[in-house]
Amino acid sequence: MNREEILKKTVEVIYECVPEMEGTELSEESVINTDTAIDSMGFTMVICRLEGIFGIKIPDRQWTKLSTLGDVISAIEKQLKKQGRLA
């Protein structure tokens, strides 16, 4: 799995968890709270869903440091690398 595949799956999850976002173009530079209009409850749903899909756990203390979609992708990559599931 590469970064582009992680991004694609993450965007799919955002559309599933926040249906009103579907059709909105998202990139790694998209700021989660402003560009995506995801509130804290929606963000929690997205992160929990991503953790389940990717079989990872992003530490809660790290969540507040995730401001862009790229930050979320990097956090997922970091956890996958720790598990040896990403080169």
So where are the chain's domains? 3-82
Question: Taking 90 as the threshold, does the pLDDT of residue 7 lie above it?
Answer: yes
Q: Would you state the pLDDT for residue 66?
A: 92
The per-residue pLDDT for range 17-38, each reduced to its tens digit, is 989 888 889 999 999 877 777 8
CA distances from 50 to 23, 28, 58 (A): 20, 16, 9
Q: Which CATH architecture has domain 3-82?
A: Orthogonal Bundle (1.10)
Between residues 83 and 35, the one the model is more confident about: 83
- What's the token pair of residue 19? 């249906």
CA-closest candidate to residue 49, choices 5, 14, 81 = 14
- The three-point CA angle 49-53-58 to 5° equals 65
Q: Would you state the pLDDT for residue 51?
A: 97
Between residues 8 and 35, the one the model is more confident about: 8
Question: Taking 90 as the threshold, does the pLDDT of residue 79 lie above it?
Answer: yes
Q: What 3-state class would DSSP assign to 37?
A: coil
Mean pLDDT computed over every residue of the chain: 91
Query: How far, in Å, CA of 31 to CA of 65, rounded?
Result: 12
Between residues 18 and 76, the one the model is more confident about: 76
- What's the token pair of residue 67? 């401001």
